A and B are shown apart, each in its own frame.
Chain A
Amino acid sequence: MTTAPPAEQRSPGPSELERAFDAAVAAEERIEPRDWMPDAYRATLVRQIAQHAHSEIIGMQPEANWITRAPSLRRKAILIAKVQDEAGHGLYLYSAAETLGVSRDELLDKLHAGRQRYSSIFNYPTLTWADVGAIGWLVDGAAITNQVPLCRCSYGPYARAMVRICKEESFHQRQGYELLLALSHGTEAQHAMAQDAVDRWWWPSLMMFGPPDDRSAHSAQSMAWKIKRHSNDELRQRFVDICVPQAASLGLTLPDPDLRWNEQRGHHDFGAIDWDEFSQVLKGNGPCNEQRIDQRRRAHDDGAWVREAASAHAVKRRARATEPPGPPPAVSSPTPRHAPQNGATTT
């Protein structure tokens, strides 16, 4: 239930509360919104869930770029449904964040002011149609690798949102793969387009797992709290191992001359990641940082009068509550209002 957390003052001493919290986490119990939790745990979750939610809604942009240019009606329908899902995922995640006592408006304000981040991957441009496929296959693939363990995150609302999201994400990855497959097996120009997209998106996708473990600021504590289940490098390795055979089936190559199977490790070795590029993009110097935030801000600002109008109308309507309701639709029956019939207590 999305209810604000209770006041901090509690009868048992903090140490006792902390012990109960630690015990619950250790026993793989879920922490729920109204449970006591350490301030740092709450802050970490707010930061992570907000960043995740922001990524979903900023992530709509690079793909929505191509909706109006999709080359077939089937692809167009798939892409609209996919980008729509991203908006939905953003909403699930903002809801989860709100259980921690922050409002969506607050989080959006922070995003718009550049005080909260979103995944840097979305600061790269989508230059050709094949980029839509590469995003589905690689970016969503990396996201799923990151997110599946989050379904077991210690914080209940986040874990539940992730279960829903992961279910829906698998369609995203598959449509991307299928799109690239069609291009790879298509004309020479289409194949080249697909290869070019993979060349551009491969390294940024690997960066999505975050800095190497020895340089990751928040990892250790998040692992202890069971917000995070695997280290950045572990997940990155898992992703590389998954992608290599998938690339082969696509008939496309991954742009890394050092990529090869290591029999001893039982994993693929891969080349050095350009962490300088990563930190540049993170700092705001990526190709699209400004344009992504600008568009988001513009949508929010341009929509302010609409949101105000709806609020004003709701106030008027409440004031008129004693009067008869508005007119019924003139044609066919009105959309049924699913009011509870037997009282909410039957839930």
Chain B
Amino acid sequence: MTAGSPPPAAPAATSPSEPARLVGEDATAALMLGDDALILSHRLAEWTGHAPALEEDVALANISLDLLGQARTLFSLVGNEDELAFLREERAFHNIQLVEQPNGDFAHTIARQLYFSVAQEIRWTAVAGSPDCPTPIRELAAKAVKETAYHRDHAWEWTLRLGDGTDESRTRMRRGIEVMWRHTGELFVPIPGLPLDEPALRAQWLTALETVLAAATLTLPEGPDADAWTAGGGRQGVHTESFGFLLAEMQHLHRSHPGATW
């Protein structure tokens, strides 16, 4: 696949045992959601061995594994999961910029988790209940919504503790919330193939955030929720600088051995 190209318009050759592949907009939707899950899973896995408590090593790995599972299911609807993960160029990834943001300190990670998991739970719930969404994605959504509810709960509980903990944790959490905010504008940009009422989903998201942030003695940032200078964003394959490093690390071994089986 060349840089920046759209996802395949026709299904790759399928063997009889493989499920039917999504095409066109449906495939685009699966890729976008799959890329979100894959990249966030990768970032969370980076915490392994570095978390603030051993219990948190275990918790973050659990969330990472859930997301990786979602990505693999979504990729399998489009093509070969490893080709999609390891052989695409940066411009062909459609994840939103929020999920690729570096982990920063634990508060940055929790802020990213809060913004994303609340949105993802709302989205999966909507997809699962919408007859207009592609059936295989709806099936995934019905399963994923339970996993995501737990991710939201995890982010929620930590937001409360960091926001309403010590002065230092409050300062850090406020900063995390602010730094990640400008990457949230893409969360409810309409996804081709998923005809959902995005403004309504976003309203739900804002209400949920206001509730938890208020309980955590914090408030939603006031600045723009999308960077005016990104000339598009992750959904168009335009990413932030750190993403290239992430891909270089993730893809180098696979690409070093073309055609090998692992």
Contacts and interface: CB of A to CB of B under 8 A. Distances in A.
B257 A187 contact: yes
For B51, B58, B105, the residue with the greatest tally of chain A CB atoms inside 10 Å of its CB is B58
Interface stretch (B63-71, B90-98, B134-142, B179-187): B63-71
A326 B52 CA distance: 24
A218 interface: no
Interface in A44-81: 57, 60-61, 64, 67-77, 80-81
B23 interface: no
B154 to A, nearest CB: 9
B166 A83 contact: no
Given A67-B45, A68-B249, A80-B45, A329 B153 contact: yes
Interface in B15-56: 38, 42, 45-46, 48-56
A321 interface: no
B42 A87 contact: no
Contacts of B162: 306, 309
Interface in A22-39: none
Interface residues of A, number: 55
B81 interface: yes
Interface centre among B50, B150, B152 (most CB of A within 10 A): B50
A182 B211 contact: no
B161 interface: yes
B24 to A, nearest CB: 24
Nearest to B106: A306
B215 interface: yes
Nearest to A62: B49
B193 to A, nearest CB: 23
Contacts of A88: 58
Given A64-B49, A306-B162, A309-B169, A71 B253 contact: yes
Nearest to A90: B54
A280 interface: no
A303 B52 contact: yes
Interface in A279-322: 295, 298-299, 302-310, 312-313, 316
B262 A182 contact: yes
Contacts of B196: none
Contacts of A94: 54
Given A84-B48, A91-B58, A306-B169, A71 B65 contact: no
Contacts of A87: 48, 54, 57-58, 61
A342 interface: no
A304 B166 CA distance: 12
A190 B75 CA distance: 26
A325 to B, nearest CB: 10
A77 B50 contact: no
Contacts of B204: 330-331
A310 B165 contact: yes
Contacts of B149: 332, 335
A313 B160 contact: yes
Contact of A308 (B48, B69, B166): B166
A106 to B, nearest CB: 15
A84 B169 contact: no
Nearest to A316: B164
Given A57-B54, A75-B262, A182-B262, A295 B152 contact: no
Interface string A216-234: 0000000000000000000
B137 to A, nearest CB: 18
A299 B52 CA distance: 6
Given A83-B61, A90-B54, A306-B106, A331 B68 contact: no
B191 interface: no
B61 A190 contact: no
B221 to A, nearest CB: 19
Interface string B237-255: 0000000000001101110
A272 to B, nearest CB: 35
Interface in A185-218: 186-187, 189-190
A21 interface: no
B152 A331 contact: yes
B111 interface: no
A129 interface: yes
A84 B215 contact: no
Nearest to A300: B52
A327 interface: yes
Contact of B68 (A61, A80, A303, A316): A80
Nearest to B50: A299
Contacts of B208: 329-331
Nearest to B168: A305
A330 to B, nearest CB: 3
Given A303-B53, A326-B160, A71 B153 contact: no
Given A84-B65, A91-B54, A313-B165, 15 more contacts: A60-B49, A64-B49, A67-B48, A69-B253, A71-B257, A73-B71, A81-B65, A190-B257, A298-B50, A303-B106, A308-B168, A312-B165, A313-B164, A329-B153, A331-B208
Interface of B: 38, 42, 45-46, 48-58, 61-62, 64-65, 68-69, 71-72, 75, 81-82, 85-86, 105-106, 118, 121-122, 125, 145, 149-150, 152-153, 156, 160-162, 164-166, 168-169, 172, 204, 207-208, 211-212, 214-215, 249-250, 252-254, 257, 259-262
A-B pairs, top 10 by smallest CB distance, nearest first, are A303-B52, A309-B165, A309-B169, A330-B208, A306-B52, A84-B61, A313-B161, A87-B57, A72-B262, A64-B49
